Amino acid sequence: QSVLTQAPSASGTPGQKVTISCSGGTSNLGNNPVNWYQQFPGAAPKLLIYRSNQRPSGVPDRFSGSKSGTSASLAISGLQSEDEADYYCAAWDDSLNVVLFGGGTKLSV
Amino acid sequence: EVQLVQSGAEVKKPGESLKISCKGSGYSFTTYWIGWVRQMPGKGLEWMGIIYPGDSDTRYSPSFRGQVTISADKSINTAYLQWSSLKASDTAMYYCARSAYSGHEADYWGQGTLVTVSS
């Protein structure tokens, strides 16, 4: 059971905006930035958002991240069929001294 | 171009040992951390541990400490993940990934190594 909690699934239609949430505690999201990873079936994860709201080069600005207190969100606007993937939040936990991953959210478009 | 290239898929029997590798190129291997992440079939990502090849500083998740060994050979830009006695429950995809700092975002990932343990 992940200490970072994500809904197992989310869905949207093309063009819509969808938000994926990640809930944690004071020792992880409350004290450290969140990172988001995108994973397609059969492929390695890819960094999508880092330090809560930064996009790596090449990631479309349709993807955005935010964090407030012990919760974080990934927003995808202008949803496209190619966005169908699994999305994981991750953060360092100061108490456990590990990187925690959320359980993942499977996005259907 | 930054690349992490992992060794190929392995099929092993319970009780056997195994060492898989992750070779970095296109950047200074000794100045970035290399972490290992497990993904069991149909499941999510689990952080196993991380190593700084520059001085071999290694940190483990409590869940994996004593179960695996993480090492690196900076002379050949390669990090390793090894088991001394595999169990069926070690069947999973294993990814290596680069981080600028321990616990920070992993910006480049290997393609993964599938380990299957079956009698």
Q: Which of B95, B107, B110 sits opposite A47 (nearest CB)?
A: B107
Residues of A in contact with B95 (CB under 8 A): 44-45
Reduce the DSSP state of residue A104 to 3 states and report it.
coil
- The percentage of residues in chain A with a pLDDT greater than 90, rounded to a whole number, is 97
d(CA B15, CA B11): 12
- pLDDT of B4 above 90: yes
Average pLDDT, rounded, for chain A: 96
Query: What residues in chain B have their Cβ under 8 A from chain A's Cβ atoms?
Result: 35, 37, 44-47, 59, 61-63, 95, 97, 103-112
Kindly report, residue by residue over B39-72, the tens digit of the pLDDT: 999 999 999 999 999 999 999 999 999 999 999 9
d(CA B13, CA B18): 10
Q: Tell me the nearest-neighbour CA distance from A52 into chain B, angstroms.
A: 10
Q: Tell me the nearest-neighbour CA distance from A99 into chain B, angstroms.
A: 6
